Structure 1
Amino acid sequence: MDPITAAAAAGVALLVKGMLESAGQEAGRSGWAGGTRLAERIRARFRGDNAAEDALVHVQQSPDDEDAQEQLRRMLQVHMLRDHEFETDVRRLVDEAVAARGGDGAQVNAALIKNAQVFNEKVEIKGDWNIS
């Protein structure tokens, strides 16, 4: 998975997690402050792009809708490819939000991103390793 796709997937996953936490009255957790900044930056970048704005609204209305999440990820990825400064901002905000949530990045990636493979650090494997 290329870095832009991975960052877009992580960004959407963090937005969805924040929306679900907010609905469960857990928005006060330290990590969501970074998620809020991410949401604001995405909203500002999408302004004027009706399809992108609609994708964001759909995820806000139905955070569990995987099709809506995929559409938002695609819109985010397109905007990141078009605007290098926006791409840099999204990556930075995702990194900050993940760091603020605590724990190791692998735990966040596995729990939030599901099928995406994102590695932010060196990966070490010890012992026997079989791939089938």
Structure 2
Amino acid sequence: MDPVTAVAAAGVALVAKGALESAAQEAGRAGWTSGARLIERIRARFRGDSSAETALDQVTRAPDDEGAQQELERLLAAHMLLDRAFEDEMRTMVAEAAAAGGKGAQVNAALIKNAQVFNDKVEVKGDWNVS
């Protein structure tokens, strides 16, 4: 997976996580601040692109919808490729959210599926079967 797609996937995972936290009335948690900022920045970038706005709204309304997540990831990556400054902002915001990991902004691996995530430490709990 190329770096832009990996950042887009992590960004979408954070958008979905933010939507889930908001729905669960957790907006006051420290991790939500990064998620809210990310969603608002993406919303501002997508302004005027109706398909991109719709994709973002679908993920915020139905964070578990994998099809909506994939569409948002595709559109986010496309916008990042078109605007280098926006790509840099997304990289920074995703990195900040990851750095706040101990404060509630963890990215769920089930949401980002096969994206490459670079961490210093990886912990696995439960049974692990590799085939």
TM-score of the two chains, using structure 1 as the length reference = 0.83
One-letter amino acid matched to 2:33: A
1:39-54 to 2 correspondences below 5 Å? 39-54=39-54
- How far is 1:109 from its partner? 6.0
Provide the aligned C-alpha RMSD in A.
2.3
1:114 and 2:113 correspond: yes
1:72-111 to 2 correspondences below 5 Å? 72-102=72-102, 108=107, 110=109
Q: Could you say which residue in structure 2 is the equivalent of 1:28? A: 28
Are residues 120 and 81 of structure 1, via their aligned partners in 2, closer, same or farther at CA, if it must alter by over 3 Å? farther
- Are the equivalent residues in 2 in contact too, given 1:59–1:69 (CA < 8 A)? yes
Deviates more, 1:26-35 or 1:76-85: 26-35
Larger Rg: 1
Deviates more, 1:22-31 or 1:39-48: 22-31
Q: Could you say which residue in structure 2 is the equivalent of 1:127? A: none
Q: Could you say which residue in structure 2 is the equivalent of 1:65? A: 65
Deviates more, 1:108-117 or 1:55-64: 108-117
Which structure 1 segments of 5+ residues have no match?
124-130
Please list the CA deviations of residues 14-60 of structure 1 after superposition, one character each: whole Å capped at 9, or x if unmatched.
11011101111122111110111111110010011111111111112
- Are the equivalent residues in 2 in contact too, given 1:55–1:71 (CA < 8 A)? yes
Q: Count matched residues.
A: 123
Please list the CA deviations of residues 58-111 of structure 1 after superposition, one character each: whole Å capped at 9, or x if unmatched.
1122111100010000000000000000000011011111212317x9x73635
TM-score of the two chains, using structure 2 as the length reference = 0.83
- Percent identical across equivalent pairs? 67
